[in-house]
Each structure stands twice: as C-alpha cells, then as structure tokens.
Amino acid sequence: MDNIIIIAVAALGGLGLVAAIVLYFIASKFKVIEDPKIDLVEESLPSANCGGCGYPGCRAFAEATVKQAKDERHLEGLNCPVGGNDVMQTVGKILGLEVEQQAPLIAVVRCNGSKANSPAKINYEGATSCTFAHALYAGEGGCPHGCLGLGDCVVVCEFDAIHMNDELGLPIVNDKCTACNACVEACPRDIIELRKKGPKGRRVFVSCINEEKGGIAKKNCEVACIGCSKCVKVCPHDAITMDNFLAYIDFEKCKLCRDCVEVCPTNAIHEVNFKPRKPKVPKEEKPKPKEASVVETIAEAAPSKENKEAPKEN
C-alpha cells in the first residue's frame, strides 16, 4: 500500500516537472520584450484613460506612440487632448522626435433651441436618457435635430466640463473641457462638436444643425438657421459653406471677423468670449454748399450805389 502511494506521488511529481520544463522553454521562445520607452511614455501621460486619443487607455496610447515612432519616425495623427501640447512635447523628447504644436480644441453645443426659443409642444415622461428619447420622438419643441436636454453628455464627462442649464434646458460647456470627445460620442443628435478655441478662447459657429427648409425649421425654433446664405455672401475669407439649407463655418478658415454674426436674421450664429461691439456711429454728411439764386447773383455782380457816387480822385 505504501509503495503505491510513493509511486503515485513520484509519477505526479515527474509529470509536473516535465510540464514546468516545457512551459519554461515555450515562454522563453515566445517571450515578448516590451520597449522600456512604453513605460516612460505612459508615466508622462495624465492617466485619464478617457479614450479621447482614440485608444482604450493611456497604456494603449503609449504603445501606439512608441510603435509609430519606431516604424514611421513621426507622431502625426497622435495626440493626447487632456495633456495637450505640454504632454506631447514630453512624449516627443522621450522618443527623440519633434512634435508639432496643435491648437487646443473645445466642445461647442450647436443648438440654441432653449425653452424660450423652442417652446415645448408636448411633455415627455420617460427614461431620462437622450439616447432612449431620440428613438421615440422628435423632442418637446418639435425640432427633430435639436437638443433633447436629458444630459447624456453630462453623465459621460469625467472632467466636470459640461452641465445642464435648467433655465435654458441646454448643456453649457466650461473651460474645464479637455476635448476628450466623450460628449460628442454620447450625443445621439450629433449637436456637439470639437472646435478650435481661438485666441483668448474666442470662437464663432452656427448654433444649429437643422437641414430643413427655413419655414419649417423656424416653425419649431425661433433661432434656427433658415439657409438664407447672407453669411456666405459677407464672409471675406470663404469660411462659410451652405449645404441643405444649413450654414457651416470652417474654424480653420474663420478669422473671427464676425461679419456673419451681424447679418444673420435669426441670430443662429454665436460668438463666444468677444467684447460687445460698439454701435456704429453714422457718418455725418457734409452740408452741401448753398446755391445762390439768380437775384443774388445779379445783385453781387451789379456795382453798389456807394461805389457809383464815390468821387474820382485826381
């Protein structure tokens, strides 16, 4: 009996030893040696794991940067929006590459269909989710493209950069925005867009995405874009295009002159972080010279009575 136990233990021990040796050689054969720069790049990142870079986390982004730097010798197309230019410059130094400075972006809400501009025609009672409501109806104000106001964008924001304004019924973006793109993806109406901040955070954009004809769009919202094309005609930089009765301002071409803001008949174009414009003072017209009458002209030409009676000097 004792011999059987000893033999069984020895057999199991032998099998375990053989398996360990096999696994050791397999691990050695297929061992993946990671580039130590991956750890260095990951440590330089903000560890937000927000996905704004297009990768599932900071580790995946670090791996992508190291791989692209090794294969293509550039980091074009790779950017950490949370860390911004400072972090990307650090990453570039680690990888021995120069990184081009990128203009900071910020989320903008391209809808101004507030409770005042787009009064509710119905009262929605259901799940407090924009995605759910979007599948059911057009919206309380009737615009099929407007903000539903249920705050899916607020829920997904990890940086406290967007909040619902109860008075307006619209989300408001603040300066904490890191352009992580989470709110853009969460919005079922696609009304949130990342745009360049511009000098001092200034930006000009059409706060409407409704492509319906002017009359129909304005029926549901007082400040809808009606496709009048006035903004296109006055833009000196060819930054505005018109497509399907909707104007769009290209932030790469826009020079922030704000000519389009002044001519928009529905106030659909928004300007952010600008000082109020001074009212234009009408130019004073110069008074026209008074035309002399025929009588005055004859009187001036005729010699006066005093001149006639004056004695001639010798």
Here the tokens at position 259 are 């000519």
Q: How far apart are CA 98 and CA 235, in angstroms?
A: 36
Q: How far apart are CA 89 and CA 20, in angstroms?
A: 46
Is residue 1 situated within a structural domain? no
Q: How far apart are CA 256 and CA 203, in angstroms?
A: 7
Average pLDDT over residues 77-105: 92
- At 141, the pLDDT band (50, 70, 90 cuts) reads very high
CB 268 within 8 A of CB 206: yes
Is residue 307 situated within a structural domain? no
Is 70 exceeded by the pLDDT of residue 312?
Answer: no
Q: What are the residues whose beta carbons fall under 8 Å from the beta carbon of 48, sequence distance 6 or more?
A: 58, 82, 158, 178, 180
Q: Are residues 128 and 62 in the same domain?
A: no
* pLDDT score for 314: 41
Q: Are residues 116 and 152 in the same domain?
A: yes
Q: How far apart are CA 72 and CA 170, in angstroms?
A: 44
Count of domains forming the chain: 2
Q: What is the CATH number of the domain that holds 40?
A: 1.10.15
Q: Exposed/middle/buried for 302, CB within 10 Å: 0-12, 13-18, 19+?
A: exposed
Is residue 4 situated within a structural domain? no
Q: Are residues 218 and 141 in the same domain?
A: yes
Lowest mean pLDDT across 50-54, 165-169, 236-240, 303-307: 303-307
CB 253 within 8 A of CB 240: no
Is residue 118 situated within a structural domain? yes
Element (H, E) at 132: helix 130-134
Is residue 293 situated within a structural domain? no
- pLDDT, tens digit, for every residue of 154-205? 999 999 999 999 999 999 999 999 999 999 999 999 999 999 988 888 999 9
Is 80 exceeded by the pLDDT of residue 117?
Answer: yes
Q: What is the pTM of this model?
A: 0.75
Is residue 302 situated within a structural domain? no
Q: What are the residues whose beta carbons fall under 8 Å from the beta carbon of 153, sequence distance 6 or more?
A: 130, 162, 171, 182, 183, 186, 187, 192
Q: Are residues 110 and 244 in the same domain?
A: yes
- pLDDT, tens digit, for every residue of 272-291? 999 887 766 555 555 555 55
Q: How far apart are CA 152 and CA 127, in angstroms?
A: 11
Is residue 58 situated within a structural domain? yes
Q: Are residues 147 and 264 in the same domain?
A: yes
Q: Are residues 55 and 198 in the same domain?
A: no
- At 5, the pLDDT band (50, 70, 90 cuts) reads confident
256, 272, 288 — which closes off a domain? 272
Range of the domain at 41: 36-95
Is residue 5 situated within a structural domain? no
Q: Taking the alpha carbons of 120, 125, 131, 135 in that order, is the dihedral positive or negative?
A: negative
Q: Are residues 259 and 148 in the same domain?
A: yes
- Residues in the chain, how many? 314
Give the 3-state secondary structure of residue 263. Answer: helix
Rounded (5°) CA angle 86-90-95: 145
Here the tokens at position 37 are 């720069």
3-state percent helix, strand, coil for the chain, nearest multiple of 5 = 35, 10, 55
Q: Are residues 110 and 243 in the same domain?
A: yes
Q: Are residues 127 and 261 in the same domain?
A: yes
Q: Are residues 111 and 249 in the same domain?
A: yes
